[in-house]
């Protein structure tokens, strides 16, 4: 367990990774404190060493050692100290990976050539689309929408039906996109395997606020 991760956060992470209810895991730790060993669904919790104020617990899954670390008695005396850590960064990353998605990025992280980009942002401007003749020998409409999050702004290239699928002010989820450059300008593009969807509104700063933050 990394030193920067608290016991509660790490246990919440384990409950998600091994699909164990956090309440059951918490009470299994209490039971192991009192009885030296306790089963929690697919996990077995053992109290290896115990002092007056803390104990070293070993958690296994079958023949595999999952973790071994000390937990204070004070932690176990709190009302389910695992569940309170369900919204932390480590747990959020675990949920994303469990859902089969790449770790989400922010606009400041984007670099030309990057692929499989997942991003949440707010649509701040959609310029009028133009008609172009593509390299595939057909006509298409295209526009470069401006999207922003709390870290910056970027142009999002929208084609045909994508243009009418979103509106200014929408919060969008972009999946499996790529970063490219056109005439020296960075653009985020959604390929045929990508996805663009509107999600519930999130509190992102306005374009003016983002530009002001970039100047400071």
Q: State the span(s) of the chain assigned CATH 2.40.50.140.
A: 107-215
Superfamily of domain 107-215: Nucleic acid-binding proteins (2.40.50.140)
Query: Distance (Å, rounded) from C-alpha 149 to C-alpha 160?
Result: 24
pLDDT tens track, the chain, 216 positions: 444 567 888 888 888 888 888 889 999 999 999 999 999 988 999 999 999 999 999 999 988 898 898 999 998 888 766 766 655 554 555 544 554 444 567 888 888 888 888 889 999 999 999 988 888 788 889 999 999 988 889 999 999 988 989 999 888 999 889 998 888 788 999 987 888 988 865 555 555 655 554 454
27 three-state secondary structure:
helix
Query: Distance (Å, rounded) from C-alpha 53 to C-alpha 43?
Result: 24
Cα dist from 139 to 132, 143, 160, whole Å: 6, 14, 10
pLDDT in tens, 77-115: 887 667 666 555 545 555 445 544 445 678 888 888 888
């Amino acid at each position: 367990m990394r030193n920067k991760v608290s016991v509660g956060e790490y246990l919440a992470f384990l409950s998600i990774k091994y699909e164990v209810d956090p309440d059951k895991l918490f009470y299994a730790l209490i039971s192991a404190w009192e009885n030296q060993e306790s089963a929690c669904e697919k996990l077995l919790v053992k109290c290896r060493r115990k002092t007056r104020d803390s104990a070293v617990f070993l958690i296994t899954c079958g023949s595999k050692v999952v973790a071994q670390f000390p937990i204070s008695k004070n932690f176990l005396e709190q009302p389910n100290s695992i569940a309170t850590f369900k919204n932390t960064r480590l747990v959020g990353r675990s949920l994303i990976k469990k859902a089969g998605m790449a770790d989400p990025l922010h606009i400041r992280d984007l670099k030309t050539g990057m692929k499989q980009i997942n991003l949440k942002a707010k649509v701040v401007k959609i310029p009028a689309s133009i008609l172009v003749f593509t390299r595939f020998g057909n006509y298409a409409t295209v526009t470069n929408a401006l999207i922003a999050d709390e870290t910056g702004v970027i142009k999002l290239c929208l084609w045909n039906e994508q243009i009418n699928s979103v509106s200014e002010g929408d919060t969008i989820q972009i999946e499996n996109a790529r970063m490219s450059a056109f005439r020296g300008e960075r653009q985020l593009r959604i390929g045929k395997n990508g996805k663009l969807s509107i999600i519930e509104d999130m509190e992102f700063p306005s374009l003016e606020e983002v530009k002001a933050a970039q100047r400071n």
